[in-house]
């Protein structure tokens, strides 16, 4: 006897790729055997995804027919070629819906992705449109490249050239040539030599221009040129400033060194005289520091200078006090900028540093199934100030019997310290709330140290008193007669399981669907724990050959003897006939 398998219909593949300019895509399905006599038909329909109908494709629906002589059938879908650039492929789906004379086999749904064919827009241009260069400089570097958009895989040749203006080739060396802008080289730079002369003259300028060679789709060249202006030696821009704008110094340091330097530009043969003086703030001149004034020159051989300002010590316990230093010049220099010109010097008192350490909370509540409760203390105000500060802690129960002790170490790198207070030291399962007291105290005397608050209470309650609700995940399930196994789950709905192990009894109940004809009867126990708060069981649905009501239903019920609340204690399960 030759057993002929039942015919099934499936799509040839679950994924198709088509170019936007290809015009159409053919999606095919086939019957998995040719051993059948009747005509098989399957309905199909397209559905939009990231690709839209009709902007990206023309949606279709209809019926495919199969015979033993033609076991494959196809549908042609038109693809639209738009002018919009899409950065990723856009997709839609083709699905087989209903079949006559056979069953379905996966895949029943195919994803069709349309690859874009539009050119990415890109703007290439000068990184700067204005350059200022000193006559004393050797060259000016001019750069251009991709400013916005995406060059993608294109390679674009650019021609560049210089053109005289008020500056001519006696002031610079002309340049021309070609460079390639591509994904691997999105920016190109050209060095234009600058020539120095002994003539006193005003600023002189020339231009640098770029042009794209040939016609390039999607390309914008902007800005396409830059002006380069040459400044005479006597007016070369230069910025001189303080090296630092904030100095922190100890009262017993003796002095502080303040420096200034050429921040940018060049002295360009000039000798520039600079003055540095102190200005009183909340630090008092003559009591906290000594007034200082100095004058020095910066030139090509000496681009920086430093001055020492005396700091005075006293016996007063005081807060941080500050004064300022001012950098200036007594003469006019064309092109000179002084920035930054103000600096602040703050004097820190050499008396002991004040510090306050505090418990983050004074009251904690936990349950007797917990291993521990974390209690933390931190530096609330002040500063550790380079010290190592040891703080002892003691944990006592209600009867003042010591249960735990140790030492916390605070430093500049460890300003928060925590203790794991053992909750198991309190009798588990007690109906009365029991409390532990944690107390902090310094190991040795630390000048300037305050601990407040220094006491925290940890109260331990019975886990059985903690509210917990457990129930079925859903109250209704719908499944097909040929679905096989149905999974039904129990879960924690609300509350804290608090280390408990909860037994949940379950059983199936007959309705219009009966066991064992329509489903396999099940009963038993699920255990819900802190590590596994979801538990599931499997009910087998029986696929019979009887023509019966379209839908027959039965129920699953849960119960428990544990002290927890139950929610959704019964689920209705309806089975749809397939005969």
Most confident of the following: 306-310, 367-371, 393-397: 306-310
For the chain, counts of helices (H) and of strands (E): 0, 45
Strand 122-126: give its sheet, edge to edge: 187-193, 139-149, 122-126, 219-221
Q: Centre a 10 Å sphere on the Cβ of residue 331 and count the other Cβ atoms it contains.
A: 8
Average pLDDT of the chain is 88
Read off the pLDDT band of 242 (50, 70, 90).
very high
Q: Per-residue pLDDT averaged across 201-222, rounded?
A: 87
Nearest to 9 by CA among 77, 67, 90, 75: 67
414-426 confidence digits (pLDDT tens) = 999 999 888 765 5
CATH of domain 468-576: 2.60.40.2030
Q: Which residues pair with 15 in a beta bridge?
A: 111
pLDDT at 66: 95
Read off the pLDDT band of 428 (50, 70, 90).
very low
pLDDT at 424: 66
546-562 confidence digits (pLDDT tens) = 776 678 999 999 999 88
Please provide residue 161's backbone torsions phi and psi, each rounded to the nearest 5 degrees. -160, 150
In terms of pLDDT, which residue wins out, 153 or 235? 153
Q: Centre a 10 Å sphere on the Cβ of residue 13 and count the other Cβ atoms it contains.
A: 11
Q: Per-residue pLDDT averaged across 525-545, rounded?
A: 90
**Gap between the Cα atoms of 461 and 367, Å rounded:** 5
Angle at 246 between CA 241 and CA 247, to 5 degrees: 115
- Cβ(558)–Cβ(506) under 8 Å? yes
499-517 confidence digits (pLDDT tens) = 788 899 999 999 899 999 8
Please provide residue 466's backbone torsions phi and psi, each rounded to the nearest 5 degrees. -85, 130
**Gap between the Cα atoms of 53 and 47, Å rounded:** 8
Per DSSP, the residues of 382-407 read E--TT--EEEEEEEE-TT--EEEEEE
pLDDT at 383: 82
pTM: 0.32
pLDDT at 193: 95
pLDDT at 397: 80
- Cβ(385)–Cβ(377) under 8 Å? no
**Gap between the Cα atoms of 363 and 418, Å rounded:** 15
CB-neighbour burial class of residue 79 (10 A; exposed 0-12, middle 13-18, buried 19+): buried
**What are the angstrom distances between the C-alpha of 235 and each of 202, 231, 268, 271?**
9, 6, 9, 13
pLDDT at 64: 96
82-93 confidence digits (pLDDT tens) = 877 776 789 999
- At residue 423, the 3 state secondary structure works out as helix
- CATH class (in words) of the domain with range 122-235: mainly beta
Superfamily of domain 8-115 in CATH is CalX-beta domain (2.60.40.2030)
Nearest to 413 by CA among 445, 435, 430, 389: 389
**Gap between the Cα atoms of 364 and 44, Å rounded:** 63
- CATH class (in words) of the domain with range 238-348: mainly beta
pLDDT at 464: 66
**Gap between the Cα atoms of 467 and 564, Å rounded:** 7
Read off the pLDDT band of 429 (50, 70, 90).
very low
Which residues have CB under 8 Å from 2's CB, separation 6+? none
Within 280-331, strands assigned E span 293-298, 304-310, 321-328
The verdict on domain 355-465 having CATH code 3.40.50.12780 is no
Determine the length of the chain: 579
Nearest to 171 by CA among 162, 161, 180, 182: 162
Residue range(s) in the chain whose domain bears CATH number 2.60.40.2030:
8-115, 122-235, 238-348, 355-465, 468-576
In terms of pLDDT, which residue wins out, 201 or 80? 80
User: Tokens representing 155?
Assistant: 């390679």
């Amino acid at each position: 006897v030759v057993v002929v398998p039942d015919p099934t219909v499936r799509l040839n593949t679950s994924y198709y790729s088509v170019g936007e300019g290809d015009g159409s895509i053919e999606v095919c399905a086939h019957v998995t055997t040719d051993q059948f006599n009747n005509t098989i038909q399957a309905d199909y329909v397209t559905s939009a995804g990231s690709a839209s109908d009709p902007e990206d494709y023309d949606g279709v629906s209809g019926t495919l027919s199969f015979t033993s002589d033609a076991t494959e059938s196809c549908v042609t879908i038109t693809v639209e070629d738009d002018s919009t650039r899409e950065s990723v492929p856009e997709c839609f789906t083709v699905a087989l819906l209903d079949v006559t004379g056979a069953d379905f086999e996966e895949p029943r749904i195919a994803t069709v992705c349309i690859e874009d064919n539009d050119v990415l827009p890109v703007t290439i241009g000068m990184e700067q449109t204005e350059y200022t260069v000193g006559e004393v400089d050797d060259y000016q570097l001019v750069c251009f490249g991709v400013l916005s958009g995406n060059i993608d895989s294109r390679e674009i040749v650019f021609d560049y050239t210089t053109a005289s203006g008020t500056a001519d080739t006696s002031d610079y060396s002309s340049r021309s040539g070609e460079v390639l802008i591509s994904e691997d080289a999105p920016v190109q730079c050209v060095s234009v030599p600058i020539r120095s002369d002994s003539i006193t003259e005003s600023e002189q300028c020339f231009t640098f221009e770029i042009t794209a060679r040939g016609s390039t789709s999607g390309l914008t060249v902007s800005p396409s040129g830059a002006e380069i202006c040459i400044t005479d030696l006597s007016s070369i821009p230069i910025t001189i400033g303080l090296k630092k704008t904030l100095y922190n110094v100890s009262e017993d340091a003796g002095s502080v060194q303040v420096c200034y330097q050429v921040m940018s530009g060049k002295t360009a043969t000039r000798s520039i005289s600079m003055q540095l003086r102190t200005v009183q703030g909340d630090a008092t001149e003559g009591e906290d520091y000594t007034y200082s004034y100095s004058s020095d020159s910066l030139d090509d051989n000496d681009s920086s200078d430093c001055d020492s300002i005396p700091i005075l010590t006293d016996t007063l316990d005081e807060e941080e006090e500050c004064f300022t230093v001012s950098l200036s010049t007594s003469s006019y220099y064309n092109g000179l900028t002084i920035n930054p010109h103000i600096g602040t010097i703050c004097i820190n008192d050499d008396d002991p540093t004040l510090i306050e350490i505090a418990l983050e909370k004074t009251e904690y509540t936990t349950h007797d199934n917990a291993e521990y409760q974390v209690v933390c203390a931190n530096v609330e105000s002040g500063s550790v100030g380079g010290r190592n500060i040891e703080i002892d802690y003691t944990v006592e129960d209600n009867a003042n019997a010591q249960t735990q002790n140790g030492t916390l170490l605070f430093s500049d790198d460890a300003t928060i310290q925590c203790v794991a207070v053992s909750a198991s030291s309190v009798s588990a399962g007690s109906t009365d709330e029991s409390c532990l007291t944690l107390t902090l105290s310094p190991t040795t005397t630390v000048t300037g140290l305050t601990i407040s608050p220094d006491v925290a209470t940890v109260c331990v309650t019975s886990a059985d008193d903690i509210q917990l609700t457990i129930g079925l995940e859903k109250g209704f399930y719908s499944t097909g007669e040929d679905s096989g196994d149905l999974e039904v789950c129990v879960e924690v709905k609300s509350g804290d399981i608090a280390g408990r192990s909860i037994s949940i009894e379950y059983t199936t109940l007959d309705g219009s669907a009966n066991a064992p004809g329509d489903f396999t009867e099940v009963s038993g126990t699920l255990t819900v724990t802190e590590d596994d708060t979801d538990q599931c069981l499997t009910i087998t649905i029986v696929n019979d050959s009887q023509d019966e009501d379209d839908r027959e239903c039965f129920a699953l019920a849960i119960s428990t003897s544990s002290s927890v609340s139950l929610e959704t204690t019964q689920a209705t399960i309806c089975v749809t006939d397939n005969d």
